[in-house]
Amino acid sequence: MDKHHIFKNYESFILFLLIHVGSSDYSLKGSEIEVILSKMEDYFPDIDDMDQLRTKFIGLKDEYEELSDSDINHIIYHNYLHYRNDSINANRIMNDLQEVIMADGFIHDMETKTMEAIKKLLNIRESDF
């Protein structure tokens, strides 16, 4: 995956954001993974097999872990530009990201900074959600 990678669908882009937020405190905890998997059930209703969802999650997580911070920011921004006219639901995205952050019961400073960075990259203002 390079920094100009465009996901095949909006839902994969959202999964990437969920992984990004969950990993922002340098560890993706079990409770965060469970929230992400439950969100995936909503975003990928055509995949009804949990093993398939887990495989999709693990594949994207592994690709994510190979990226630099700069590449991650480029991917988020380029996908935002690609999907902004037809799919971006700022309220839903921010709520889902917030649920991942709160899953382990502790909000790390890096998670807060990551949320602020995502808001900037996605051009989301507080009034949008």
Between CA 86 and CA 89 the distance in angstroms is 9
pLDDT at position 11:
92
pTM above 0.85, yes or no: yes
Other Cβ atoms within 10 Å of 107 Cβ, number:
13
pLDDT at position 129:
45
Per-residue pLDDT of the chain in tens (129 residues, 90 and over written 9): 888 899 999 999 999 999 999 999 888 999 999 999 999 999 999 998 999 999 999 999 999 999 999 999 899 989 988 988 876 778 888 899 999 999 988 888 999 999 998 888 777 765 544
Between CA 107 and CA 93 the distance in angstroms is 18
Q: Which domains does the chain carry?
A: 10-128 (1.10.3680)
In contact, 102 and 115? CB cutoff 8 Å: no
pLDDT at position 85:
81
Counting runs of H as helices and runs of E as strands, what totals does the chain give? 6, 0
